[in-house]
Chains A and B, each alone.
Chain A
Amino acid sequence: MAATREAVLEHWNQPSFWQRLTVADGLWALLVIAGSGYAYWFYQPYMDRYEVAIQFGATLALIGWGRYWPPARAFTLAVAALTVLALWRYGANYELRKSAFLLKYLLESQAAFMWMSTLYVLATVTYFVALFSRSEFIGKTAAALTWSATVMGMTGLLVRWRESYLLGADIGHIPVSNLYEVFVLFALITALLYLFYEDRHRTRAMGGFALLAISGAVAFLLWYAFGRQAYYIQPLIPALQSYWMKIHVPANFIGYGAFALAAMLGVAYLLRVGAEAHHPDGVLARVLPPAELLDDVMYKAIALGFAAFTIATILGALWAAEAWGGYWSWDPKETWALIVWLNYAAWLHLRLTKGWRGAPMAWWAVIGLFVTLFAFLGVNMFLSGLHSYGSL
């Protein structure tokens, strides 16, 4: 052989982490650092040292996220551009939201959430059309709609964050403080998780199902906004004035989002196996994603959800230790978080140690969504406890 040992070695050696970094990666990191630095310079007077640490962590996470999953970069840049535009248009005048065209019809948080809602519902329909028509173009459109909806929603949240400061320096807070705001967060996170799996598994066949869960959330959001006038920015009650909220709530919603996604994939799985058994030549059996894929992604989503939920519950316990005098009080919300967690622990054990697959696990994932939904919503609606600020 002509090749030298060295040449062969060089080929075999997988490039190290540092070698694999590209110029784009470097640019990305610089951009994130610059943006975060600007935000720090701007908001530093409002932050305590824990919040500075959280911002630092978030900056690293964003750099890592963009590196791990390149579409996240374009997403972040789009959100950042729109947010900066809105902030620039607002200046220091909150009342402009009612008069400035750009704000009133596009970027004011409420307007942005309406765009988000509309686009998600359109995306849901489009994904299903793509599924049945098997059209690549329509599929791409559906994905673009989902991305746009997510950009609008995320922009809305960031703008709302700023709006809360415009309302009063002492009122300013991260918009994850009530059911209305976290429902937006839920829709966004579920969409991002789905888009990630869509990208990694190179299939859009799961889209309609994932987006169905999001459309459900959107329906609730609209009812809550218009039926209950829930969209006002409210100042934080003392119990919520803590940096823990910034990490506890988002971590929780990664969990909820992942579980919701898993449940919807469970539904698709059951439809698929049902179709295969009863109408093997029917249209469903032809267009639905393969059962193995659904099963695999369902597992991945539950694993991710479980990991995030573990962190979220632990953060919640640490927060409780600081706010309520004990890391565990058997408060209904806490207890339901434990129930959700135990439920998925049991699911994971059955799958991993007993090797259970297929319909029973899919059913369980679907039921898991109801357990999760109760922890997320039912507790606030039906039970009273220390978490009562989230009540409807």
Chain B
Amino acid sequence: MNETTLCKPLRRRTLGWVLLEFFGSMNLAITLLVVVAIASVIGTVLQQNQSYPDYILKFGPFWFAAFNQIGLYDVYGTGWFIAILAFLILSTSVCLYQQAPGMLREMTRFRTSVQIDSLRGFHQQAEWWLPDHDSRTVQADITSAFRGFGYRWRIQDHGDHQVIAVMKGRYNRMGYLLTHAAVVTIGVGGLLDGNLWLKLKEWRGELAVETRDLSAREAPPISRLAPGAIPTFRGNVRLPEGSAANFVFLRVRDGFLVQELPFAIELKEFQVAYYDTGQPKSYTSEVLIHDQEYLGDQPLAATIRVNHPLVYRGYAIYQSDFGDGGSKLELKAWPLTTARAEPVAAKGEVGGVIKVGGPTAGALSLELDDFRLFNLLPEPNAQPGDRQFRNFGPSISFKLRDAVGAAREYLNYMAPVQIDGRWFYLSGVRAQPGAPFSYLHIPVDANNSPERFLRFNARLHDASGLRKLLALPAAGGDPDFQRDLNQVRLNLVELFAQGGFMAITEKAKAVVPAERLQEATALYLNLLRETLAEVFVAVLREEGVSVEQELGERENAFFNDALSALAARPAYGSPFYLQLTGFQQVEASGLQVTYSSGAVVVYAGFALLIVGVFLMFYTSFRRLWAWLAVEDGAVRLILAGTGNRRPAEFAREFAALQTALERRLGSPLSPPPSLSPADTLKEAH
């Protein structure tokens, strides 16, 4: 296109000129587009706004601090990122400022002073020499052709010649203005909705992020924002059923702020609905809005669902997540490391902590983290991608924290789970947050309970009971040998109860010469197995199961599963198995409340952008000229034109116009211009 050049230089070389020139430069604009794109990648590769301890775990203290310094945990809120965005907006504004006057002039002004030579230089041009015409009728013919093509024109008489200047598709230039104005508008609206206001308040010392673990009520005034204190925010609150809140938490870096609301939200009920397949179908919160000022004593009832927020007084309230609101739990703790076979009953509430006197030095604290009514999980033996799910029923998750503060996390299912045709109580454990759970599989007894296993386990820790049980001499044996053998058996059981099979093999390594190790280990394991079987039979007898004949298939399977569980027990780490025996669920709904004053601006920008882009791409700005002069009693007519887009289409349009004129005026002088794409493409710019 030959008319508009980029960002034209202004007159004087002042500092302002230099700055304008710099910010309006196309090179800067393209560079910024690419730089913003690349910078944006960072925040997608590194998960943003996770908890700081997680980052420390991931990167180690040194890199954690380094990354924190440049704000990698909240890239899109850092000063430097906002600064490049601001530069892009500034650059677009400057470009717009420099281009707009020219574009507007172009849209409104007919170019009536043209040189005959420049017209002849156009790719699309035709020239007639018309001896027996007069300029008036030629002019009338031309203008009516122009009218037919929907052009607008203006005639200028230059004395010796006339110029008819034509324009069409002015909206294309409007498209440029709208598109770039839209970029600026969206950018400004977005910045208004960003975290600038918080940063400003922090910088002025009016606000400090609270990093302690406090409740909203306890947060000091310096960490609180009154309604309207900032024009935009996005905050969250977790409401248990039956409770209300008139604030939300804003998460900032590793802490939070409390944003107060001019009304209170009460959660009446939270519901999850499920499809027949068991997948969740909807999350619904029934809420009441209490607002003395606007609603008086009559609260507003509303339903909030995913994709269906409630907008009240400009505040939008969303269903964002859900969780436990303090379900009441009935628990039984079965000792795993002592001879005691009876459980301790306890009551707790999700979110609460129970102190447990451990068998080891120092108390453990049992933190009840979560209760879930449904656990829809892939089938245990499913191939990846099988998409078979099963509801594993209610579960609790909790942490056991020792006096030093180290914690293991547990996940216990309430009901037994069938795996390979047998049933187990599952309890998962992990020492690292985020690591996969490893599961203890406690086999289920004839009463559908974990009791038999737990009694079996307790017996293994009961040294005097074992001694009595195993002391029975085998009839007709050598008594000394029998005594020694019994002692070995006792030791083996004790070792196994403390450290599983590993402890046995370790022990064998320590006492047996290497060449006999394999043999001896096999011997030990066999002996252990026999001994454990004896103990198991005693457990069965106690239960009243008839064991006179061979053990039944079920008992055998149970025994094998029990051995696996016992072997895994040392790694389990907890001194007890916590069984969930009853619950009363209290759900909590996670609501997000936002207030956004920039949204209107951004949406206006969206509208401008769509209109602008389409005008720019799909309309084309065309100019044509007819140059008329009377020479030696004949009329010379030159028709020429250019379009800023879609050169091939313009070439066709010009050819049609020329054909229309030929019918009236006869053939032009010069052969029609070439229509090859190569030519027309070059001409476009």
The interface of chain A, by Cβ under 8 A from chain B, is 1, 3, 5, 8-9, 11-14, 168, 170-171, 227-230, 232, 234-235, 237-239, 241-242, 290, 292-293, 295-296, 303-304, 306-307, 310-311, 314, 317-318, 321-328, 330, 332, 335-336, 338-339, 342-343, 345-346, 349-350, 352-355, 379, 383-385
Cross-interface CB contact of A314 among B275, B386, B610, cutoff 8 Å? B610
Smallest CB separation, B6 vs chain A (Å): 6
Q: Is the CB of B592 within 8 A of A237?
A: no
- Most chain B beta-carbon neighbours within 10 Å: one of A228, A306, A342: A342
Residues of B within 8 A of A328 (CB): 190, 193
Q: Is the CB of A168 within 8 A of B275?
A: yes
Smallest CB separation, A267 vs chain B (Å): 20
B5 nearest in chain A by CB position: A353
Cross-interface CB contact of B144 among A8, A234, A235, A324, cutoff 8 Å? A8
Q: Is the CB of A349 within 8 A of B148?
A: no
If A8-B663, A335-B44, A349-B33 touch, does A168 touch B279 (CB 8 Å cutoff)?
A: no
Q: Is the CB of B43 within 8 A of A383?
A: no
Prevailing SS type, chain A contact patch: helix
A314 nearest in chain B by CB position: B606
Cross-interface CB contact of A383 among B44, B280, B386, B663, cutoff 8 Å? B44
Smallest CB separation, A291 vs chain B (Å): 9
The interface of chain B, by Cβ under 8 A from chain A, is 6, 26, 29-30, 33-34, 36-37, 40-41, 43-45, 47-48, 75-76, 141, 144-145, 147-150, 190, 193, 234, 275-277, 279-283, 305-309, 316, 318, 320, 384-387, 592-594, 596, 599, 602-603, 606, 609-610, 613-614, 617-618, 648, 660, 663-664, 677-678, 681, 685
Q: Is the CB of A349 within 8 A of B36?
A: no
Residues of B within 8 A of A385 (CB): 44
If A303-B617, A326-B594, A339-B40 touch, does A234 touch B610 (CB 8 Å cutoff)?
A: no
Smallest CB separation, B674 vs chain A (Å): 13
Q: List 18 A-B contacts (CB under 8 A).
A: A8-B141, A11-B663, A12-B149, A238-B281, A239-B306, A241-B282, A241-B306, A292-B681, A317-B602, A323-B307, A324-B318, A327-B603, A330-B75, A338-B40, A346-B30, A346-B37, A383-B44, A384-B47
Q: Is the CB of A339 within 8 A of B306?
A: no
In angstroms, Cα B193 to Cα A168, docked, is: 42
In angstroms, Cα B389 to Cα A234, docked, is: 12
A349 nearest in chain B by CB position: B30
Q: Is the CB of B279 within 8 A of A339?
A: no
In angstroms, Cα B320 to Cα A307, docked, is: 32
Residues of A within 8 A of B596 (CB): 326-327
In angstroms, Cα B305 to Cα A242, docked, is: 11
Q: Is the CB of B144 within 8 A of A9?
A: yes
Q: Is the CB of B613 within 8 A of A306?
A: yes
Residues of B within 8 A of A292 (CB): 677-678, 681
Residues of B within 8 A of A339 (CB): 37, 40-41
Smallest CB separation, B554 vs chain A (Å): 35
Q: Is the CB of B148 within 8 A of A13?
A: yes
Q: Is the CB of B599 within 8 A of A327?
A: yes
Residues of A within 8 A of B145 (CB): 12
Residues of B within 8 A of A323 (CB): 306-307, 318
B599 nearest in chain A by CB position: A327
Q: Is the CB of B26 within 8 A of A310?
A: no
Q: Is the CB of B280 within 8 A of A237?
A: yes
B666 nearest in chain A by CB position: A1
Smallest CB separation, B605 vs chain A (Å): 9
If A296-B648, A326-B594, A349-B30 touch, does A229 touch B385 (CB 8 Å cutoff)?
A: yes
Q: Is the CB of A343 within 8 A of B37?
A: yes
Cross-interface CB contact of A230 among B29, B385, B613, B685, cutoff 8 Å? B385
Q: Is the CB of A325 within 8 A of B594?
A: yes
B644 nearest in chain A by CB position: A352
In angstroms, Cα B412 to Cα A201, docked, is: 66
Residues of B within 8 A of A310 (CB): 609-610, 613
B386 nearest in chain A by CB position: A229
If A12-B144, A322-B309 touch, does A170 touch B685 (CB 8 Å cutoff)?
A: no
Smallest CB separation, A221 vs chain B (Å): 14
Cross-interface CB contact of B307 among A229, A239, A307, cutoff 8 Å? A239
A385 nearest in chain B by CB position: B44
Smallest CB separation, B559 vs chain A (Å): 38
Residues of B within 8 A of A296 (CB): 648, 677, 681
A333 nearest in chain B by CB position: B44
Q: Is the CB of A242 within 8 A of B144?
A: no
Smallest CB separation, B664 vs chain A (Å): 6
Residues of A within 8 A of B602 (CB): 317, 327
Q: Is the CB of A346 within 8 A of B34?
A: yes
Smallest CB separation, A379 vs chain B (Å): 7
Q: Is the CB of A8 within 8 A of B664?
A: yes
Q: Is the CB of A235 within 8 A of B663?
A: no
Residues of B within 8 A of A232 (CB): 387
Residues of B within 8 A of A346 (CB): 30, 33-34, 37
Q: Is the CB of A238 within 8 A of B280?
A: yes
Residues of B within 8 A of A354 (CB): 26
Residues of A within 8 A of B308 (CB): 322
Q: Is the CB of A307 within 8 A of B281?
A: no
Smallest CB separation, A182 vs chain B (Å): 18
Q: Is the CB of B43 within 8 A of A321?
A: no
Cross-interface CB contact of B617 among A307, A324, A383, cutoff 8 Å? A307
Q: Is the CB of B677 within 8 A of A326?
A: no
Q: Is the CB of B613 within 8 A of A345?
A: no
Smallest CB separation, A246 vs chain B (Å): 13
In angstroms, Cα B48 to Cα A349, docked, is: 32
If A170-B281, A325-B592 touch, does A311 touch B610 (CB 8 Å cutoff)?
A: yes
Q: Is the CB of B36 within 8 A of A238?
A: no
Given contact pairs A325-B316, A327-B602, a sample of 15 additional A-B residue pairs in the complex whose CB atoms are under 8 Å apart: A11-B660, A13-B147, A14-B148, A168-B275, A237-B279, A238-B280, A241-B282, A241-B306, A292-B681, A306-B617, A314-B609, A325-B592, A330-B75, A346-B33, A350-B30
Smallest CB separation, B259 vs chain A (Å): 14
Residues of B within 8 A of A353 (CB): 6, 26
Smallest CB separation, B574 vs chain A (Å): 31
If A14-B150, A238-B305, A327-B602 touch, does A335 touch B43 (CB 8 Å cutoff)?
A: yes
Q: Is the CB of A336 within 8 A of B44?
A: yes
Residues of B within 8 A of A234 (CB): 279, 387
List the 4 closest A-B pairs by CB distance, nearest first: A12-B148, A228-B385, A332-B44, A238-B306
Smallest CB separation, A293 vs chain B (Å): 6
- Most chain B beta-carbon neighbours within 10 Å: one of A229, A325, A379: A325
Smallest CB separation, B547 vs chain A (Å): 47
B190 nearest in chain A by CB position: A328
Smallest CB separation, B628 vs chain A (Å): 18
In angstroms, Cα B387 to Cα A94, docked, is: 20
In angstroms, Cα B147 to Cα A345, docked, is: 36
A242 nearest in chain B by CB position: B307
Smallest CB separation, B239 vs chain A (Å): 16
Residues of A within 8 A of B43 (CB): 330, 332, 335
In angstroms, Cα B111 to Cα A98, docked, is: 71
